[in-house]
Amino acid sequence: MKIFAYGVRPYDELGYFEKYSKEMGFDFDYTTEYPCPENAHLAKGADGISILTNPTDSHMLDLFKAGGAKYIATRSIGYDHIDVEHAKKIGMRVANASYSPNSVANYTIMMMLMACRNICYILDKAKMQDYGLKGKMGRELSESTVGIIGTGKIGQVTIEHLAGFGCKILAYDKYQNEAVKKHAQYVDLETLYRESDIISVHIPGFKENRHMFNKETFAKMKDGVIFVNAARGLLVNSQDLIEALQSGKVGFAALDTFDEEIGMCYVNREGEALKNNAFYTLTAMPNVIFSPHMAFYTEQAVADMVGKSAGAMVAFSRGEQSEQEVL
């Protein structure tokens, strides 16, 4: 069985591809380029295609299929960038990856703490040798009510870790998790918006919930709420968030992802003028933390992303099922 991998990072992913190819018994080749019609021929003869969060539409899938591919797997949990229905239509099995939820949960709580204590401002002033206290007073996470939207694996672990801080935790999900109820109270969204000092989002990004967080949503939240998004950028209407930050409705935004970030994150764009005015406005604001979709990025997570996605395609080649298959 042969896998062709696109967008491989030689400084971290490549070593795991080499490791798992020996352990699982597959051959692989790769490119550091992201998939496009002009380089689809590189995958000719491969049984499986490995990608990242690159848009993979019906045309790309047809090109891969014509080259002999039977499977495609994304090295990410989210798979909304793949035209799954078309893949099924042409007989390609699709898989995603799973990885330790600790990575994003840890990062989310770190961003909450940074926002609560206004750490970026404190560090910036310290660089200028301003060691005074004026304007640097924070709030205690332990005394806050934290609302978690989405209680899947990452949301659940975030709640479990937050419980150690002693804060009140509210949760919302269409499907309630009994394990979560040990630490949090499930409420409806209206209640969560109204009562939470901090709101953190842990839901997938699909067409149905695009811009779920908008002018109307922010209006329902507490004045000065801390809003944390380490999930998907498309969940948030950026212009509405800017207005909420300017008005003080949102006191602080901690963002690890941004709408229309494709082509920005995971690429060195130093010195370029990006065509995204909302991004420049947000990242220039003193009450915003932005990191380029890095919450997942730990040694364990990268190993899992390569291993789980490749393992799914190996299972497919053997006529076996995989829990990573997108059905």
User: So which residues are the catalytic ones?
Assistant: 232, 261, 293
Whether 229 and 199 have beta carbons less than 8 Å apart is answered as no
- Give me the residues paired with residue 123 across strands: none
Whether 12 and 59 have beta carbons less than 8 Å apart is answered as no
Q: How far is CA 40 from CA 31, 69, 100, 215, 221, in A?
A: 11, 11, 31, 41, 46
Residues in Cβ contact with 275 at an 8 Å cutoff, skipping those fewer than 6 apart: none
Cβ–Cβ contacts within 10 Å for residue 191, how many?
15
Whether 183 and 163 have beta carbons less than 8 Å apart is answered as yes
Calpha distance 46→3 (Å, rounded): 5
Edge-to-edge strands of the sheet including 48-51? 27-30, 2-5, 48-51, 71-74, 93-95
Cβ–Cβ contacts within 10 Å for residue 233, how many?
20
Calpha distance 104→171 (Å, rounded): 17
CA-based torsion, 309, 311, 314, 320: positive or negative: negative
